Amino acid sequence: MDVRYDFGGDEYIFVDFDIEMSLEVNFKILSICQEIERERIAGVIEVCPGNASYLMHYRPEEIDPEKLVKELRKLEHQADHITSISSRMVDIPVLYDDPWTKECARQFGERHQDPSVTNLEYLMRINGFSNKQEFIEAHSGRPYWISMVGFVPGTAWGYQMVPRARALQAPKYVRPRTDTPERTVSHGGAFMAIYPVRGPGGYQLIGMTPVPVYEPEGRLIDLRETRILAKAADRWKLRPIDLDEFNAIRAEVEAGTYRYRIVEQEFRPAVYFEDPEGYLNRLQEEAR
Amino acid sequence: MLKILRPGLLTTIQDAGRFGWYHIGMPPSGAMDQFSFRAGNLLVGNDQGAAALETTFLGPDLEAAADVTVAVTGAPLELRLNGEPAPMWVALALRAGDKLQCGQAVAGVRSYVCVGGGIDVPELLGSRSTYLLGRFGGIGGRMIAAQDVLATGAPRRSATELTGRRLDPRLLPTFPEIAELRILMGLCSYRLTEESIAQFLSTPWEVSTEADRIGYRIHGAGFQFRDREPPFGAGSDPSNVVDVGYPVGSIQVPGGKEGILLMRDAVTGGGYATIGTVIQCDLDRVAQAAPRTRFRFRAVTIQDALRLRAQYKARLRMLADSLALFDSVGRLGQ
């Protein structure tokens, strides 16, 4: 792997591991970022793991940029493979093909590759599906590995834990939208993401979840500490629901009584790579 | 205490910024033009990073609910104290009941109303800055509204000590219609052709009307990408990459049609290629660039960037020194 170090202006270092996405690379990045945090290098403000890269923010008054790059290269070579990652299984109810995101897609049609169909229909076509139900089953069947957190507070990139040949893919909008409804479930590249707040974006819009992934007011018990649902290394299991269940969950969220279904587990990458399907099934059984 | 009579167009509480939370998607926020903001705080005897009001194009009308020292800096606007013209970049003593009117900016975009003791709202994750998109910080994560009453902290120095303090005019920023921005090219610029990079650096870019605290969309010659097989997970548009973190100040090129220069309320990462990062001190100029302002980009090295950064910090130190000099000369004259 040819790792590339680059300066992002005078306060950032961008470290690019690969131009393509893989869980192998993401596991390695998460392990290096944890190593950097443990090292507590003077002048480092924070490190932000990306899908196949990471971004470091630092103060050049406290550490010389060239020297910092040397330190980071050393850590890159020292970082061992993670043998076990603590990873939460999180249940995410989703109303696919909902009215709100379809309306948003209509509104920004001129920025889209094909405004004559819904974003979900566009994704079906690109990925070779003719049946909507089959597409929804494929999209929600396997959990998504949270490989990166960012964009706006609470956004998380979910990479579906399927063989690459089965991964659903989508281009981003030709020009990003200036608006997207809160809690939109979306897909871009090989990633699923949920919009935590209303705002700009470029992913394809395919559904809506009733549960917040960001709650600035801190009313829901499970989000009180950080106000954010996602943690890197989570596994999010999407669960298709109908409008009645959507409304029922919304009512609980608005009353402040909703509790997320979260199960803490130890995740072993080596075991996963040996038998992905069997291992995920075992973890899912344990989580019940 | 300050009472808001009219809020202006888009006025928010901002401080030096909220750092260390980019990894959860929380951008730094904070004053967009840090130099003007810090100068205002120095004038009223605060720490440089104390919370102040940031205005956009049209400033607020305020009433002092108690005696308070105020300095207005940044984009030049028509400032009135109890109806009489009042100077910017000067510490003004307001008595309870005095009214300060900030008019429309005649150049630039953002002005700062700095108050002795700073604006006192609760700190969230270490900062009082407002992050509008995330509905976070400031007052309930929103812009200032009429009838808001803003608490102020205990002033460091008395109004008698501060009133009339002014800055050396040679140190004050200008608000040009063409701004040169120094940039470190790189990040995902490997996606562009050599010719496209050369064109980016040799032609002007115009600020569009979609320009705010999140980012500035800039229009110009456009971008041309190198041919490729899309890597797995990136998406098929030539501007797509597997999602990366975006530095504040970086320029992304969605679809190759326009550039988006990310500012202090930036989205922290995403799937469009970034082609370089404007150095931090030049973001002050961007903050003051109204739509139709033209940018020219000049490529610099990390060593240049560090030198320019040091010069910027030295200018801030000179501001502080010139105030200390003003104070001692003032005392001698009494």
Q: What is the mean pLDDT of residues B114-132?
A: 96
Which of B22, B133, B278 lies nearest to residue A48, judging by beta carbons? B22
Q: What is the mean pLDDT of residues A239-250?
A: 98
* CATH of the domain spanning A4-81: 3.30.1360.40
Whole-model pTM: value is 0.90
Please list the alpha-helical segments (H only) found in chain B: 34-43, 159-162, 194-202, 283-287, 302-333
Could you tell me if residue B333 is inside a domain? no
Q: Do B73 and B39 form a contact (C-beta atoms < 8 A)?
A: yes
Q: Do A243 and A74 form a contact (C-beta atoms < 8 A)?
A: no
Residues B137 and B272 in one domain: no
Could you tell me if residue B322 is inside a domain? no
Per-residue pLDDT at B126 = 92
Residues B125 and B242 in one domain: no
User: How high is the mean pLDDT of chain B?
Assistant: 95
Residues B44 and B72 in one domain: yes
Residues B212 and B108 in one domain: no
Residues B152 and B8 in one domain: yes
Residues B199 and B274 in one domain: yes
- Test B233 with A170 for CB contact under 8 angstroms: no
Residues in chain A, overall count: 288
The predicted-structure confidence for A93-133, as pLDDT tens digits, reads as follows 999 999 999 999 999 999 999 999 999 999 999 999 999 99
Could you tell me if residue B312 is inside a domain? no
The predicted-structure confidence for B55-100, as pLDDT tens digits, reads as follows 999 999 999 999 999 999 999 999 999 999 999 999 999 999 999 9
Residues B168 and B194 in one domain: no
Q: What is the mean pLDDT of residues A35-50?
A: 93
Write out the residue range of the structural domain in which residue B80 sits: 2-174
Tell me whether B236 touches chain A (CB under 8 Å). Answer: yes
Residues B214 and B243 in one domain: yes
Indicate the pLDDT class of residue B331, thresholds 50, 70 and 90.
Answer: low
Residues B213 and B163 in one domain: no
Residues B86 and B162 in one domain: yes
Which of A18, A155, A176 lies nearest to residue B254, judging by beta carbons? A176
Residues B199 and B258 in one domain: yes
The domain that holds B261 is classified in CATH as 2.40.100.10
Tell me whether B26 touches chain A (CB under 8 Å). Answer: yes
Residue numbers of B between 295 and 314 with CB closer than 8 Å to A: 302, 305-306, 308-309
As a whole number of angstroms, the longest Cα–Cα distance in chain A is: 58
Q: How many domains, in total, are found in chain B? A: 2
Residues B48 and B128 in one domain: yes
Per-residue pLDDT at B132 = 95
Per-residue pLDDT at A139 = 97
Could you tell me if residue B311 is inside a domain? no
Indicate the pLDDT class of residue A81, thresholds 50, 70 and 90.
Answer: low
Please, what CATH class does the domain formed by A86-287 belong to?
A: mainly beta
Domain boundary, last residue among B146, B174, B202: B174
Q: What is the ipTM of this complex?
A: 0.96
Q: Where are the domains of chain A?
A: 4-81, 86-287
- On chain B, the residues whose CB falls within 8 A of the CB of A164 are 232
For residue A95, the distance in angstroms to the closest alpha carbon of chain B comes to 24
Could you tell me if residue B309 is inside a domain? no
Tell me whether B22 touches chain A (CB under 8 Å). Answer: yes
Long-range contacts of A67-73 (CB under 8 A, 24+ apart): A68/A13, A68/A41, A68/A43, A68/A44, A69/A5, A69/A13, A71/A39, A71/A41, A72/A5, A72/A13, A72/A15, A72/A36, A73/A3, A73/A5
